[in-house]
Amino acid sequence: MATPKRKAAVPQLPLQRQFAFREKGDFFDLRALFEKLNERYFGNKLRGYVIVWGPRRRQRPKTGIVFGSIREEERVIRIHPLLDRAFVPSWFLEYVIYHEMCHAVVPDQFDASGRRKVHHEKFFERERKFRWFRRAKAWEADNLARFLR
C-alpha cells in the first residue's frame, strides 16, 4: 500500500513572527524602551507591535548599517543586534526605536513621478521632536565606524 505524500508546509503570515527573535538583549530590553517611548511620544496609540533584535550576522557590515527597520503591515520593528552593546547609550537606542515608530504614524508621501518617500519634511519634523535628537545624530556620526568592519 502506498503512503500519502507529505503535505507542503504553509507558512503562517506574518512570517517575521514565526522566528524566535528576542526582545531582551544582553544590555537592553527593547519592549521596555518601546513602551516608554509609546507612552511619552505617542500617547500609547501604537498597539500590537512586536519589537525584536534582528538576527546576528556572521560578518559585520563593511560600508553601511541599517540600525532599525519596520514592517508596518506586520507591525514588526527590528533593531540591529550590534546596538546591544555596553558602549551604546540608551538614549541612542531610544532614538533608533523612536525613528522606526515615527514611520507608523507619519504617512508616506509620493513625488510627481509616483515614487514613495518615507523620509520627507513632515517625517523629519516629527523625528526632531525626540528629546535627544541632535545628541543622537552627533553620536551616530562620531561612532558609525565602530559598527563597521
Q: Among residues 73, 129, 81, which one has the least CA distance to residue 102?
A: 129
The domains located in the chain, with CATH, are: 20-147 (3.30.2010.10)
CA dist., res. 51 & res. 34, Å (int): 8
Kindly state the average pLDDT of the residues 3-7. Answer: 47
Read off the pTM.
Answer: 0.84
Per-residue pLDDT tens over the stretch 20-72 = 568 899 999 999 999 999 999 999 999 999 999 999 878 878 888 999 999 99
CA dist., res. 38 & res. 47, Å (int): 9
